[in-house]
Amino acid sequence: MTTLEIKDLHVSVDTEHGEKEILKGVNLTIRSGETHAIMGPNGSGKSTLAYSIAGHPKYTITSGEVLLDGENVLDMEVDERARAGIFLAMQYPVEVPGVTVSNFLRTAKTAIDGEAPKLRTWVKDVKSAMENLRMDPAFAERNVNEGFSGGEKKRHEILQMELLQPKIAVLDETDSGLDVDALRIVSEGVNRAKETSEVGVLLITHYTRILNYIKPDFVHVFVDGKVAEEGGPELAERLEAEGYDRYLTAKA
């Protein structure tokens, strides 16, 4: 049983005009086996929250806490956070020139487990995870994210999640740019991980569509750097019908 606690988190970025506060006091608790949807308009700070949890150096934590089973995550380097069981699927995955998917996955697995995976089982695990995600075996020999389509990038993120078996997975707009078939395949991957490893999922999305495939236990509406409203799946249905307008006008 793992708990990720985010307490009154304030985060700024450096801009040409000085420090700009993006996160303005985020409170959120995610436990193993739970799926939390974070839904909010563009620019509300969803990716900033994801990157702050994962430890991106661009973001300055000005106050607040992030605790993984009581351990201070904000004191950890990026790789320590990954080893502690935190996984981030980025909204815009980056290219890793000269590194194949196959090598990348094995290196990441070795770093996280502290030992190289047993070759025979590993090859089998990769093969079956790729089959499940309907990925061509040739994909394993391509360089990470180089020339990948939007859908291939997202499948590759979920492939990583399935093989690395994190305790907490932050999925930043894993649904964006996917057609219906790809969305279903990617969602099935997340649901498999939920069943097999009890991973706690923070599912960041702009649209309600993915929530037809991955059922959230909790929905948090994210507006202007903090949680504006929380509820169960019914909240997503209301957002589908009403959009974010009422939160934005309420703010003005």
- Binding interface with Mg ion (CB under 5 A): 42, 46-47, 91
Strands 168-172 and 71-72 come out as unpaired
2 contacts ligand ADP (rule: CB under 6 A): no
Beta-carbon contacts of residue 109 (< 8 Å; ≥ 6 apart)? 116, 117, 122, 163, 164
Contact 88, 50 (CB under 8 A): yes
CB of 145 to ligand ADP, least distance (A): 19
Q: Residue 37: which of 223, 231, 246 has the closest Cα?
A: 231
Contact 137, 168 (CB under 8 A): no
CB of 99 to ligand ADP, least distance (A): 26
- Of 138 and 252, CB closest to ligand ADP: 252
CB of 186 to Mg ion, least distance (A): 17
- Of 42 and 121, CB closest to Mg ion: 42
Residue 174 interface partner, choices Mg ion, ligand ADP, none, CB cut-off 5-8 Å depending on type: none
- Of 15 and 42, CB closest to Mg ion: 42
CB of 110 to Mg ion, least distance (A): 30
Residue 78: C-alpha distances to residues 82, 84, 175 (Å): 6, 10, 24
- Of 85 and 225, CB closest to ligand ADP: 225
| H or E, element range at 80 | helix 78-84
216 contacts ligand ADP (rule: CB under 6 A): no
- Of 10 and 206, CB closest to Mg ion: 206
Distance CA 70, CA 190 (A): 26
Nearest-Å Rg of the Cα atoms of the chain is: 18
Residues 45-84 that bind ligand ADP (CB under 6 A): 45-48
Give all strands (DSSP E) within the chain, no chain letters: 3-15, 18-31, 35-39, 59-68, 71-72, 86-89, 96-100, 143-144, 168-172, 200-205, 218-223, 226-231
- Of 43 and 232, CB closest to ligand ADP: 43
Residue 189 interface partner, choices Mg ion, ligand ADP, none, CB cut-off 5-8 Å depending on type: none
145 contacts ligand ADP (rule: CB under 6 A): no
CB of 233 to ligand ADP, least distance (A): 21
Distance CA 96, CA 146 (A): 7
Q: Which residues would be at the binding site for ligand ADP (CB under 6 A)?
A: 13, 15, 20, 22, 40, 42-48
